[in-house]
Amino acid sequence: MCQGLIFLLYYVVCSHLHCNTYRELGLFYVKLWDSSDINTIIDSYDETGSFYALSLSEQREESLATAFGVKSAYVLNTKKAVYIPSLEVEWVHQYNEDARTIEATFAQSPSSGSFSIETQKSDRDYLNAAFSVSAMFSGGKSAFFRYDTLLGEDDRTSESYTLGGRYEF
């Protein structure tokens, strides 16, 4: 029954992503690919609280990326629970890694002229990786843990931990 549940879970996930699911001897693995096109607009704003506060102009950024990866999971049946460890690795490629130019003036003296601040280029390629384990116990109890991290970015780090559980009453 648990393998059917895992297959159903992957079917639901794969209906939202572009992927293929494979199953051999309790090991499931999924090839994933995705693309995203994100346009971001940051409204102009004025800093306060300092003589050197800045007035920053509106900023626009476009991000076009593709991601290719694999996710694998293995079903471990024991007398007390069913454990499902999972591992994901995803390579992300950014097509628009250009630096942005932000126009600014001093908020206390806008007539003194404007100047430009150039941001750094974002990394063209990086990895998303994750490890998770979920457990289903008798009596309708379940628990899960997930760790996500970003690898290969020069100027940015990201880690997240998720812990949860469920029980019937």
Of 12-21, 131-140, 143-152, which gets the smallest average pLDDT? Answer: 12-21
List the structure tokens of 157.
Answer: 């780090």
With respect to residue 43, please indicate whether it lies within any of the assigned structural domains: no
Whose tokens are 């404007």? That residue is: 114
Q: Domain residues for 19?
A: 5-37+64-97+122-167
With respect to residue 93, please indicate whether it lies within any of the assigned structural domains: yes
With respect to residue 58, please indicate whether it lies within any of the assigned structural domains: no
- Total domains, the chain: 1
Mean pLDDT confidence for 20-46: 76
CA angle 98, 113, 53 (to 5 degrees): 80
With respect to residue 74, please indicate whether it lies within any of the assigned structural domains: yes
pLDDT at 26: 64
Q: Please give the model's pTM, rounded to 2 decimal places.
A: 0.66
Average pLDDT in the chain = 82
With respect to residue 18, please indicate whether it lies within any of the assigned structural domains: yes
pLDDT at 22: 54
- pLDDT interval class at 135 (50, 70, 90): very high
With respect to residue 143, please indicate whether it lies within any of the assigned structural domains: yes
List the structure tokens of 75.
Answer: 């079903």
- pLDDT interval class at 15 (50, 70, 90): very low
Q: How many CA atoms lie within 13 A of 103 on its CB side?
A: 9
With respect to residue 28, please indicate whether it lies within any of the assigned structural domains: yes
Question: Does residue 50 register a pLDDT over 80?
Answer: yes
Which DSSP state fits 156? -
Question: Does residue 92 register a pLDDT over 50?
Answer: yes
- pLDDT interval class at 129 (50, 70, 90): very high
**Neighbouring residues of 142: CB distance < 8 A, sequence distance ≥ 6:** 134, 135, 136, 165, 166, 167
